[in-house]
A and B are shown apart, each in its own frame.
Chain A
Amino acid sequence: MEELFTISVYTENNPGLLNRIATIFLKRHINIESLNVSRSEIENVHRFTIVARMKELAVKKLVGQIEKQIEVIKAYYHTDDEIIFHETALYKMASSLLFEQREIQNVIKNSSANIVTVDPEFFVIEKTGRRKDTEELYDQLEPYGIMQFVRSGRISVSKTEMNISSLLDKLK
């Protein structure tokens, strides 16, 4: 059965690595649902967070191929109940709505979203949460006309330890 997996990859900082990792998915015809790259808790170590849907046997092999890359320190895969995860969405709306459609203020308040900026022309709502939370807000705002919408890739931390520091000590 196919499931959603979150793959966390700890890597050296190398510009070619994104390409190499993406190719591993492409070669197997697996669609990347979201991808995020950031620094990690360790200096000079980067962290890829990749979400994709496949069977567990497939993700096991995929992680093996990712770990084979020279500049990958370690890769893990987790199911949703093994991690704490979030996505962030931004919604750009017309400022006039705040005055003409006052109930929109309640929508924002009830969804515990934040208004990050207000401009004479537009304002921007930011909502962090799970996919269904940002989707729900989208559905509520849609009737008012969303000028722009964007959602980030998933970021996540695992409930269990990933032990990268001790791994790096051993490798040294």
Chain B
Amino acid sequence: MRSLLREGADLAYGYPGGAIMPIYDELYKYQDKLQHVLTRHEQGAIHAAQGFARVSGKVGVCLATSGPGATNLITGIADAQIDSTPLVCITGQVASHLLGTDAFQETDVISISAPVTKWNIQVTRSEDIPAAIAKAFYIAKSGRPGPVLIDITKDAQLGDLDYSYDKCTSVRSYKPVPETNIEQVKAAAELINSAKKPFIVFGQGVILGEAEAEFKAFIEKAGIPSAWTVLGLSALPTEHYLNVGMVGMHGHYGPNKLTNECDVLIAVGMRFDDRVTGSLNTYAKQAKVVHFEIDPAEVDKNVKADVAVLGDSKDTLGKILPFINENKHDAWHNEFKKHWETEVEAVIDPQLNPTKEGLTMGEVINQVNKETHGDAIIVSDVGQHQMFTVRYADFTKTRSNVTSGGLGTMGFALPAAIGAKMGAPEREVVAYIGDGGYQMTCQELGTILQTGVAVKIVVLNNEYLGMVRQWQQLFFDKRYASTTMVNPDFIKLAEAYDIQAQKVSKREDLAGAVKEMIASDKSYFLEVMIEKEDNVFPMVPTGACVSEVRLS
């Protein structure tokens, strides 16, 4: 407990059980210094810790007991691993003399979690606990962040030790940040300066490296149109004149089309995920590629880099600035503008100003934008509404987009929103959730009830598992196998947890309901009935080329 406090942790999410009771007993003694949030499921605890970490930049901490407690964390751990979120998970384990005997609630959580943790360790002696915790925090936070897990046997939790705590500042075999080669920086600058049609794609590396200011200075000086990945969203304000939108499967038309027309593609803190690139065989083949990256294993993994600049983004983007020539690229910008206008006409305008009777997700999100002025933290779950959210929500501040990107974990949003609000209590937190994903973790309404945390929940209800249904419509001849949902009365459910709730089915009721929700200083539940068979466009079908992006 003292070790956790020494790492600056004053908040932990978790769920008690037999093998972690000694730790909870200590928590009881330290409750004035370390707040423990009891969630309703371990998965809720870890997603809350993720939400907390994503908005605060601190390490999220969660606790669970052995066996099922530990295995219930695994989805969140895998999510944090693929989205580079710093977490320290502490699990209880059966007493060391029982290890390997199939004891009650014994699971080999070290083996189970190995492929989805940055590091993990089992501790069987009390005296090893402080060093393990110190190392865990250091590894979770440094370099490319990630989740770590400490499995502590019950006897180790109970033992006495001569307590001393030394913060961990290095691990012999671990180099969190690779050295930056200044020659590579110069080579990158030369390519960028010589480019006629340069294009930047930035990812979460800008946010994790706290390099937002350096990034902005770099793109403004070079005058380069910049597009974001889902996780890079909010690193650059929506309204910034160089922000040209999103790349990838449901990204914007121009960025996808022009990926295959740029002459230099500059990737900053992103990993060329398949949802970003579509078919690699036809991805930006005409362009020279510059890759700014902290993780050497990401360089050349999917897309071969002509120049790789290894290092921390804050540092490398700062270093390249003096070598960059001022530029404007007006003609090139106009191409993005032209494509933008095409997309506004074909997709965005019909979404935001629909003429059909049914409400669209885009207009709900746009209505919330008007009330929050883009200052809110936006949490989204997984599916159609997630793509509508990242496409249409406005952002003015960094670390404001919390969503499960790499793993695509349905059920992420509600608990993540709870953690996000606790990580940034002064900010408004709005969670957009589909009717499917909401029911995966809606037990966490209980956590809202118990803690009083004020999150605004918007369920965009189309009575379908919408994204799967969209694919069934487009690629499986409308055979809607197991995607129709018969839903409960969500309003009654929210009210059962003492949360003010409202349901909107008509356009004329939307603005007032959103206003009331944002004005509330408590948690609030808004259900909006959405046009049932709306689709997310543009779309790059799986395995297609990014320039084959479809508008309908």
By a beta-carbon cutoff of 8 Å, the part of chain A in contact with chain B is 11-12, 16, 19-20, 23, 27, 60-61, 64-65, 67-68, 70-73, 168, 171-172
Q: Which residues on A sit within 8 Å (CB–CB) of B111?
A: 16, 19
CB pair B297–A27 under 8 Å, yes or no, is: no
Distance in angstroms from B87 CB to nearest chain A CB is: 15
CB pair A72–B114 under 8 Å, yes or no, is: no
Selected from B115, B173, B296, B297, the residue in CB contact (under 8 A) with A171 is: B173
CB pair B173–A61 under 8 Å, yes or no, is: no
Q: Which residues on B sit within 8 Å (CB–CB) of A60?
A: 300
List 20 A-B pairs, Cβ < 8 Å: A12-B173, A16-B111, A16-B114, A16-B121, A16-B122, A19-B111, A20-B114, A23-B114, A27-B115, A61-B297, A61-B301, A68-B295, A68-B297, A70-B118, A70-B139, A70-B174, A73-B173, A171-B170, A171-B173, A172-B172
Given contacts A65-B297, A168-B172, A172-B172, 17 further A-B contacts (CB under 8 A): A12-B173, A16-B110, A16-B111, A19-B111, A19-B114, A20-B115, A23-B115, A60-B300, A61-B297, A64-B296, A68-B297, A71-B173, A72-B173, A73-B173, A171-B170, A171-B172, A171-B173
Selected from A12, A16, A19, the residue in CB contact (under 8 A) with B172 is: A12
CB pair B172–A73 under 8 Å, yes or no, is: yes
Q: Which of A20, A60, A65 has the most CB of B within 10 A?
A: A20
Q: Which residues on A sit within 8 Å (CB–CB) of B372?
A: none
Q: Is B478 an interface residue (CB 8 A)?
A: no
Q: Which residues on A sit within 8 Å (CB–CB) of B481?
A: none
CB pair A70–B297 under 8 Å, yes or no, is: no
CA distance A23 to B59 in the complex (A): 26
Q: Which residues on A sit within 8 Å (CB–CB) of B172?
A: 12, 73, 168, 171-172
Q: Which residues on B sit within 8 Å (CB–CB) of A70?
A: 118-119, 139, 171, 173-174
Q: Is B175 an interface residue (CB 8 A)?
A: yes
Q: Which residues on A sit within 8 Å (CB–CB) of B295?
A: 68
CB pair A67–B297 under 8 Å, yes or no, is: yes
CA distance A73 to B170 in the complex (A): 13
* CB-CB nearest in chain B for A17: B114
Q: Which residues on A sit within 8 Å (CB–CB) of B110?
A: 16
CA distance A68 to B300 in the complex (A): 15
Q: Which residues on B sit within 8 Å (CB–CB) of A68?
A: 295, 297
Q: Is B50 an interface residue (CB 8 A)?
A: no
* CB-CB nearest in chain A for B110: A16
* CB-CB nearest in chain A for B295: A68
* CB-CB nearest in chain A for B175: A171
CA distance A27 to B81 in the complex (A): 15
Q: Which of A11, A27, A68, A72 has the most CB of B within 10 A?
A: A68
CB pair B175–A64 under 8 Å, yes or no, is: no
Q: Which residues on B sit within 8 Å (CB–CB) of A72?
A: 173
CA distance A19 to B109 in the complex (A): 13
Q: Which residues on B sit within 8 Å (CB–CB) of A16?
A: 110-111, 114, 120-122
A-B complex: 5 closest residue pairs judged by Cβ atoms: A64-B297, A73-B173, A70-B119, A23-B115, A70-B174
* CB-CB nearest in chain B for A57: B300
CA distance A68 to B118 in the complex (A): 9
Residue-wise interface mask of B (458-492) relative to A, using a CB-CB cutoff of 8 A (1 in contact, 0 not): 00000000000000000000000000000000000
* CB-CB nearest in chain A for B117: A20
CB contact list, B75-134 vs A, under 8 A: 110-111, 114-115, 118-122
